[in-house]
Chain A
């Protein structure tokens, strides 16, 4: 009886897909998403049925070019391991790790996706001054970057910038642009742990996001969104400016980029946003807390 109900629902979705699909790709994507939602609703609470329909869901998602939340989190988790291998081991001070998590989660609450758990880590690496954000909410910073900051608001704005990449799905969009060349079925199979395609997908995503970096459009979007999250959280919102001002002279930025976005342009865009906030001079930079919780521990 239950199976009949599911079959009926999927049949309806398929008929709908066939009908609307004739009208173009955009509708096809919408209907594909609807199909996945219908299956999810129909199999809710029944793990056996959910397993049976997983292949159909993968194919439907392949049509949409979409990645679901569990897959997004899993991809970020896998990529995090690769980041640790590349940049080094976590800093051993648990209190430092906790402090960075507290700052990060404080700003993440004001993002477009406050429901994600968001995980933060500090890597012991003074040679690199970088922050990395990965799908699903994994955000990693190096001690080299932390040493260059002077206040908690600067850390908050940098973490918020990374949160914005996750919350606005910049990483997923960038990755999907790379993988759309793969056949629809291959994309569906890419999240099967039995398939080699999954490891290849993670390698592509890692290379795209960690080595090549986001394009300038995404960087400016993340600057503006991150500054806004930090302001909403109550931080003095000029936290990105000191590092970007240093970047104008040194050329060193806090993320990896294949083509370096112009820091002067980023500063101009942030200043435009800051004018909307009105008076914020009394908002806290929390420099003393940053000194105590971070700089004295490095």
Chain B
């Protein structure tokens, strides 16, 4: 009886270990892969939002991961269990957004123009032109990954927050 329990426990541990080894996480946003932990590590690649990575070693603040033939370290905070939503398809109907990925949408300010539903709502409720333009302007504010990076660096945030 005891032997059965031990065997079962061993198998369960093995299964958990295999599952842990095979853990796949996704990048929350554009993320730099480094060859060692911390900002001192050399950048070995740039990963787009939603890139799946296999966790090789789970540390306190950094994970050692592999993806697409590359191996390196990422901050744990930059990884998520669920793949980030791809808004490309959802926004395909908007003018000028066909097959444009999120990063490009934010960079290019291509999110101009209201949806058919919003235009119908604006007509139905006699929304003034300035309010329609206000939403259009709101959607046109673009922030590039480089600009986000510079902003975080200047404030000691994101990738630059870890080594304080």
Contact = CB atoms under 8 A, between A and B. Distances in A.
Interface of A: 68-71, 73-75, 77-78, 80-82, 84-85, 89-90, 97-98, 101-102, 105-106, 109-110, 112-117, 119-121, 138, 140, 152, 191, 193-194, 196, 198-199, 202-203, 232-235, 282-284, 286, 289
B155 A81 contact: no
11 contacts: A71-B117, A73-B90, A81-B134, A102-B147, A115-B86, A115-B102, A117-B87, A117-B111, A119-B138, A193-B120, A282-B164
B86 A284 contact: no
Interface string B117-154: 11111101101101110110111010100011001101
8 A-B pairs with least C-beta separation: A234-B161, A115-B84, A115-B85, A69-B90, A234-B157, A70-B90, A193-B120, A84-B131
B120 A198 contact: yes
Contacts, number: 155
A80 B128 CA distance: 13
B141 A286 contact: no
Contacts of B121: 78, 81, 198-199, 202
Given A81-B134, A117-B87, A282-B164, A74 B143 contact: no
Interface in B46-86: 49-50, 77, 80, 82, 84-86
B85 A116 contact: yes
Contacts of B134: 80-81, 84, 89-90, 121
Nearest to A121: B138
B107 to A, nearest CB: 11
A114 B157 CA distance: 17
A115 B80 CA distance: 11
Contacts of B93: 70
B143 A73 contact: no
Q: Which of B128, B131, B152 has the most CB of A within 10 A?
A: B131
B50 A284 contact: no
A212 to B, nearest CB: 19
